């Protein structure tokens, strides 16, 4: 597996206030997700020889609301947005002239994540890990538009989170 580089930008200081050592947490979630995917699916990009870059923006509802409106025509915030370059028509799997292959960006809204965690009675840490796993899977081309895709993606989310010691985020479905 190639080196996977996270470029993490913390736009809202509440992230650092609420989740200790957020960079280490993101690295741990990255390792758990990519290790599991590599063992359980055949994702071509994981055979790359160049490092893979993923941008993570830890933001807020206002920023995510704007992105959701501008790119998805949904005039509201959401918990996580993923812009996966694998989906782009001009994506170059070998990275072209660049030293790294940019897989895309994951943007998470603090307030929405926080309110969902409170509603579900789970920790911010657990919900952050879930949203990050979800974003990493989207970056790798997983989707949940069709029911069978959703089941497959959710099975990966559950397994990765279990490996991290985090409870199943979909308990009502069992």
pLDDT digits (tens, 9 = 90+) for 15-25: 988 888 999 99
Taking CA 136 as the corner, what is the angle to CA 33 and CA 37, rounded to the nearest 5 degrees?
A: 40
Give the pLDDT band (50/70/90) at residue 127. very high
CA 39 to chain CA centroid, Å, is 18
What is residue 60's predicted lDDT score, i.e. its pLDDT? 96
Tokens 């929405």 found at:
112
What pLDDT does 173 receive? 57
Tell me the pLDDT of the chain averaged across its residues: 92
Residue 174 has pLDDT above 80, yes or no: no
Q: Percent of the chain scored above 70 by pLDDT?
A: 98
pLDDT band at 97, cuts 50/70/90?
Answer: confident
How crowded is the C-beta side of 68, counted as CA atoms within 13 Å? 18
Helix or strand or coil: residue 69?
helix
Q: Does residue 151 surpass a pLDDT of 60?
A: yes
Greatest CA separation for the chain:
47
Q: Which residue has the higher pLDDT, 92 or 78?
A: 78
The whole-number average pLDDT for the span 87-109 is 85
How does DSSP classify residue 98? S
What sign for the dihedral angle of Cα 170, 109, 125, 38?
Answer: positive
171 pLDDT band, cuts 50/70/90, is confident
Q: Identify whether the C-beta of residue 16 lies closer than 8 Å to the C-beta of residue 28.
A: no
* Sequence spans of domains, the chain: 4-168
Of 87, 85, 89, 81, which Cα lies nearest the Cα of 100?
A: 85
| pLDDT at position 106 over 90 | yes
- Please give the Cα distance from 114 to 137 (Å, whole number): 21
Confidence of residue 88 (pLDDT cuts 50, 70, 90): confident
Taking only the tens place, the pLDDT of each residue in 52-86 is 999 999 999 999 999 999 999 999 999 999 999 98
CATH number attached to the domain at 4-168: 3.40.390.30
Contacts of 108 (CB under 8 A, 6+ apart): 56, 57, 58, 59, 64, 79, 80, 128, 131, 132, 135
Residues 138-149: what's their mean pLDDT? 91
pTM above 0.85, yes or no: yes
Q: ∠ CA(95), CA(130), CA(168), 5° rounding?
A: 135
């Amino acid at each position: 597996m190639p080196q996977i580089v996270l470029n993490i930008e913390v736009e809202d200081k509440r992230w650092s206030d609420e989740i200790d050592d957020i960079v280490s947490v993101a690295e741990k979630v990255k390792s758990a997700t990519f290790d599991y995917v590599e063992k359980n699916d055949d994702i071509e990009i994981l055979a790359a020889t160049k490092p893979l870059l993923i941008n993570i923006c830890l933001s807020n509802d206002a920023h995510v609301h704007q992105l959701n409106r501008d790119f998805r025509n949904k005039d509201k915030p959401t918990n996580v947005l993923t812009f996966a370059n694998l989906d782009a028509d001009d994506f170059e799997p070998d990275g072209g002239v660049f030293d790294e292959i940019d897989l895309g960006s994951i943007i998470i809204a603090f307030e929405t994540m926080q309110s969902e965690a409170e509603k579900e009675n789970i920790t911010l840490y657990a919900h952050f890990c879930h949203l990050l796993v979800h974003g990493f899977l989207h970056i790798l081309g997983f989707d949940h538009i069709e029911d069978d895709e959703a089941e497959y993606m959710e099975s990966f989310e559950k397994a990765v989170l279990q490996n991290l010691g985090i409870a199943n985020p979909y308990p009502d479905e069992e």
